Amino acid sequence: MKGTLSLGVDIGGTGVKMALVDRRGRIHQLQKFASPTKASPAVFLGTINRWMRGFVGRDQFRTLRGIGVGVAGDVDQAHGRVRLSPNLQWHNVPLKALLRKHLPPIPLVVDNDANAAAWAAYWVETHRRAKNLVCLTLGTGVGGGLILNGALYRGATGSAGEIGHMTIDPTGPACPCGNHGCLERYIGARALVERACQAVQEGEQSVIIELVGGNLQAVTPLVLQQAAQRGDRLARRIWQEAGERLGVALASLVNIFNPDRIVVAGGVARAGRLILAPAQRVMRRRAFPVPGHAVHLSLSHLDQDLGVVGAALLVP
Amino acid sequence: MKGTLSLGVDIGGTGVKMALVDRRGRIHQLQKFASPTKASPAVFLGTINRWMRGFVGRDQFRTLRGIGVGVAGDVDQAHGRVRLSPNLQWHNVPLKALLRKHLPPIPLVVDNDANAAAWAAYWVETHRRAKNLVCLTLGTGVGGGLILNGALYRGATGSAGEIGHMTIDPTGPACPCGNHGCLERYIGARALVERACQAVQEGEQSVIIELVGGNLQAVTPLVLQQAAQRGDRLARRIWQEAGERLGVALASLVNIFNPDRIVVAGGVARAGRLILAPAQRVMRRRAFPVPGHAVHLSLSHLDQDLGVVGAALLVP
């Protein structure tokens, strides 16, 4: 008998998350695991397999609707292969084949984690009403997923949606991807933290130093959020500039995609209005009026669980 | 009996083009008309109606498969209404209703001219093989059309594909659309001509002055092309810079859409390798490797007729 629950697995650089999710996107059970460091892909996936059996229960496996895996990286969905994942240091890993050999014959799908997040945003947050939806995940990196005409858009080789690597300023800072001035270099967690540390090291007064007890290694987007909420000028300026840069990118996306909805998620997005208010203001000012007013910009309610819920919902 | 030929009508700021086109996109008959100046939309469309009858032949009208109209502007396809056309100075014109009342009951579709061009590029130039195609029309303005998963992508309000108004440099020159640093402000015909005239007026030596007999009003992209082909340094620099800016935009589009194909058309594109060679070089350098190598960038063979052929092919 085909079950009603799917298992979602979200494989990221720092951890693995699993959830049992129903067809409405509700989480019935959730667990986080720390990624084994320095394990080879085969060993890592063997470990994930053991975790899955422990999480679902050995006998319940066959009652699952299926398993959906979201992974940070460039994924060939058709073959379930991870072409490249800088975060996991994976290169050409046959993820689906490696997982499949330990599994009963239930559906198994593999996709990019930002695609999974976009699918969850469409399915759960808009109840499949926003047929054209752009999802941005703001974390260490900036990921993107596109729902177009009610379907996940993957492009020619499954690599579509790399919104974090659209150019904001062609003469901007170098990005590890090889480009210059990528959106990620302005609003990714690493970029925000770098900017704060640099300003502090150059002698700018800020409550940030106090919040991290003098240890600049401990600065995170959450610290910058707390500093801004205390009225810290440096932190407020960093969020405002990040929001404005995001707004420039959103205006381009609005003019190109004319989406019904833009959903923003991820750790950096938890700053909420600190980043979204300037982003919305700049987006409205720069975008064409008709699509600029048609689009609804919002934070994800599912936030950090968007990826794991979306992975489960990708099971057909 | 349903015929095999459709009538395509391409309505632009300076002229109207009509063509009888078969289902393979071949032009059987083509004619250009100069737009009546200062005519109201109703009078203009009455004139177009008379031209159509003369062009097709009064008795042949009923044997047409249908009529497709492409118009420069923001079009509500569902209602056949032109929301806004800066080039035509139209605002909220019920184009389909105004044309329909003079026509027999054959299919009549109205769409944006760049959408029509993209449809022709997909249908005729790739034989519907490139399921994900980005089409750019480089003229006075820069238009765009998107074929995604083998269908014309229109977005939430039919305004999608405004690629000419993606931001290339947020601190760049003001654009009539209200944004700053739009792609159109770097590679549109007007921008190229402005740059040439400014350099010449500032005293830069160039064969351009000679080519236009001293009359800078007569500078066009074609003149800049001729000057560059003669080895003129100013003209070559203008094309190279335009190509590089185009390449920045193309890299973003490749990372976002992961298209099979990018087709470039329009008057400015006739400069060919002068603009496409630097564009391709910068695109390859800036885009992600997998989608950057998957995409094929080419000039349109149909060129100026892309819009009128596409309009005809939009008839279902």
Rounded to whole angstroms, the Cα distance separating A257 from A229 reads 34
| A161 part of contact set with chain B, CB < 8 Å | yes
pLDDT at B59: 78
The two three-digit tokens of residue A272, written as one number? 């909420």
In single-letter form, the type of residue at position A194 comes to: E
pLDDT exceeds cutoff 60 at B1: no
| A177 part of contact set with chain B, CB < 8 Å | yes
In chain B, what residues touch A249 (CB-CB under 8 Å)?
167
| B166 part of contact set with chain A, CB < 8 Å | yes
CA separation, residue A300 to residues A69, A269, A272 (Å): 20, 9, 10
**B35 vs B21, which has greater pLDDT?**
B21
Neighbouring C-beta atoms of residue A202, cutoff 10 Å:
7
CA of B4, closest CA in chain A: separation in Å? 30
Of A179, A260, A287, the CB nearest to B156: A260
In chain A, what residues touch B157 (CB-CB under 8 Å)?
258, 290-291, 294
Q: Which of residues 180-239 of A touch B (CB under 8 A)?
A: 180
pLDDT exceeds cutoff 90 at B254: yes
Of B166, B177, B251, the CB nearest to A179: B251
Share of chain B above pLDDT 90, in %: 86
In chain B, what residues touch A255 (CB-CB under 8 Å)?
159, 162-163, 165-166
pLDDT at A14: 78
| A278 part of contact set with chain B, CB < 8 Å | no
Q: Residue A181 carries which DSSP code?
A: S
In chain A, what residues touch B163 (CB-CB under 8 Å)?
255-256
Contact A314, A111 (CB under 8 A): yes
pLDDT per residue as tens digits for the range B256-268: 999 999 999 998 9
pLDDT at B39: 85
CA of A183, closest CA in chain B: separation in Å? 10
Of B84, B149, B290, the CB nearest to A74: B290
Contact A259, A292 (CB under 8 A): no
Task: With cut-offs at 50, 70 and 90, classify the pLDDT of residue A306.
Answer: very high
In chain A, what residues touch B184 (CB-CB under 8 Å)?
none
Of A56, A68, A81, A139, which Cα lies nearest the Cα of A308? A68
pLDDT per residue as tens digits for the range A1-39: 567 999 999 998 778 999 999 999 999 999 999 987 778
| A51 part of contact set with chain B, CB < 8 Å | no
Task: With cut-offs at 50, 70 and 90, classify the pLDDT of residue B216.
Answer: very high
pLDDT at A60: 85
In chain B, what residues touch A259 (CB-CB under 8 Å)?
155-156
- Residue A194 has phi, psi (to 5 degrees) of -55, -45
Of B86, B154, B115, which Cα lies nearest the Cα of B10? B115
Strand B151-152 to B142-148 pairing = antiparallel
Residues 6+ positions from B12 with CB-CB distance below 8 Å: B35, B72, B87, B113, B307
pLDDT at B62: 85
CA of A31, closest CA in chain B: separation in Å? 32
The residue-averaged pLDDT of A215-242 equals 97
- What distance, in Å, lies between the first and last C-alpha atoms of chain A? 15
Choose from B255, B285, B286 for mutation: most chain A CBs within 10 A. B255
- Residue B156 has phi, psi (to 5 degrees) of -65, -40
CA separation, residue A173 to residues A167, A185, A253, A289, A301 (Å): 11, 7, 21, 31, 32
The two three-digit tokens of residue A134, written as one number? 């752009």
Helices A189-201 and A221-229 pack at an angle, to 10 degrees, of 60
**By CA distance, what is A288's nearest residue in B?**
B177
The residue-averaged pLDDT of A231-244 equals 98
> Which long-range CB contacts under 8 A does A289-293 form with residues at least 24 apart?
A289/B178, A290/B74, A290/B83, A290/B84, A290/B157, A290/B159, A291/A254, A291/A255, A291/A258, A291/A259, A291/B155, A291/B156, A291/B157, A291/B159, A291/B160, A291/B162, A292/A251, A292/A254
pLDDT per residue as tens digits for the range A105-136: 999 999 999 999 999 999 999 999 999 999 99
**By CA distance, what is B293's nearest residue in A?**
A157
Task: With cut-offs at 50, 70 and 90, classify the pLDDT of residue B3.
Answer: confident
Contact A170 B169 (CB under 8 A): yes
| A260 part of contact set with chain B, CB < 8 Å | yes
pLDDT at B280: 98
Q: How many Cα neighbours within 13 Å face the side chain of B85?
A: 25
The residue-averaged pLDDT of B73-94 equals 91
pLDDT exceeds cutoff 90 at A222: yes
The residue-averaged pLDDT of B91-115 equals 93
The helix (run of H) or strand (run of E) holding residue B299 is: strand B296-299
CA of B57, closest CA in chain A: separation in Å? 39
pLDDT per residue as tens digits for the range B284-298: 999 999 999 999 999
pLDDT per residue as tens digits for the range A67-117: 999 998 889 999 999 998 877 889 999 999 999 988 889 999 999 999 999
Of B74, B257, B285, the CB nearest to A160: B257
Among the residue ranges A82-91, A166-175, A176-185, the one predicted with the least confidence is A82-91
| A74 part of contact set with chain B, CB < 8 Å | yes
Contact A255 B166 (CB under 8 A): yes
Contact A286 B179 (CB under 8 A): yes
The mean of the pLDDT values for chain A is 94
Residues 6+ positions from B85 with CB-CB distance below 8 Å: B71, B72, B73, B74, B91, B93
Task: With cut-offs at 50, 70 and 90, classify the pLDDT of residue B12.
Answer: confident
CA of B300, closest CA in chain A: separation in Å? 20
Contact B287 A179 (CB under 8 A): yes
The residue-averaged pLDDT of B222-247 equals 98
pLDDT exceeds cutoff 90 at B13: no
The two three-digit tokens of residue B214, written as one number? 């001293």
pLDDT per residue as tens digits for the range A242-262: 999 999 999 999 999 999 999
- A9 bridge partner residues: A18, A69
Angle, CA B169 vertex, CA B165 and CA B170 arms, to 5°: 85
DSSP string, B37-92: TT--HHHHHHHHHHHHHHHH-GGGGGGSSEEEEEESSEEETTTTEEEEETTTTEEE
pLDDT at A102: 84
Of B171, B156, B27, which Cα lies nearest the Cα of A245? B171
Rounded to whole angstroms, the Cα distance separating A66 from A45 reads 17
Dihedral angle, C-alpha B297, B301, B303, B305, nearest 10 ° = -140
Instruction: Look at the block and give the residue holding tokens 């100075």.
Output: B89
CA separation, residue B316 to residues A182, B120, B174, B306, B312 (Å): 41, 13, 40, 17, 9
pLDDT exceeds cutoff 70 at A45: yes
In chain A, what residues touch B286 (CB-CB under 8 Å)?
167, 178-180
CA of A168, closest CA in chain B: separation in Å? 7
Task: With cut-offs at 50, 70 and 90, classify the pLDDT of residue B2.
Answer: low
Contact B105, B81 (CB under 8 A): no
pLDDT at A304: 86
In chain A, what residues touch B287 (CB-CB under 8 Å)?
179
- What distance, in Å, lies between the first and last C-alpha atoms of chain B? 15
Contact A264, A270 (CB under 8 A): no
Contact B155 A287 (CB under 8 A): no
Contact B299, B265 (CB under 8 A): yes
pLDDT at A2: 63
The residue-averaged pLDDT of B115-141 equals 95
The mean of the pLDDT values for chain B is 94
* Three-state helix/strand/coil letters over B223-250: HHHHHHHCCCHHHHHHHHHHHHHHHHHH
CA of B20, closest CA in chain A: separation in Å? 31
Task: With cut-offs at 50, 70 and 90, classify the pLDDT of residue B159.
Answer: very high
Instruction: Look at the block and give the residue holding tokens 């100046």.
Output: B37
Rounded to whole angstroms, the Cα distance separating A228 from A234 reads 8
DSSP string, A55-118: HH-GGGGGGSSEEEEEESSEEETTTTEEEEETTTTEEEE-HHHHHHTTS-S--EEEEEHHHHHH
The helix (run of H) or strand (run of E) holding residue B112 is: strand B108-112
| A292 part of contact set with chain B, CB < 8 Å | no
In chain B, what residues touch A243 (CB-CB under 8 Å)?
none
Q: Which of residues 120-149 of A touch B (CB under 8 A)?
A: 131-132, 144, 146, 148-149
Starting at the earlier edge strand, list the strands of the sheet with B142-148.
B151-152, B142-148, B133-138, B261-265, B296-299
Neighbouring C-beta atoms of residue B235, cutoff 10 Å:
26
CA of B231, closest CA in chain A: separation in Å? 28
pLDDT at B58: 77
Size of interface A-B (CB pairs under 8 A): 150
- A265 bridge partner residues: A137
pLDDT at B35: 81
Of A75, A50, A20, which Cα lies nearest the Cα of A308? A20
Residue spans of alpha helices (H) in A122-232:
184-187, 189-201, 208-211, 221-229
The residue-averaged pLDDT of B237-248 equals 98
pLDDT exceeds cutoff 90 at B60: no
pLDDT at B274: 97
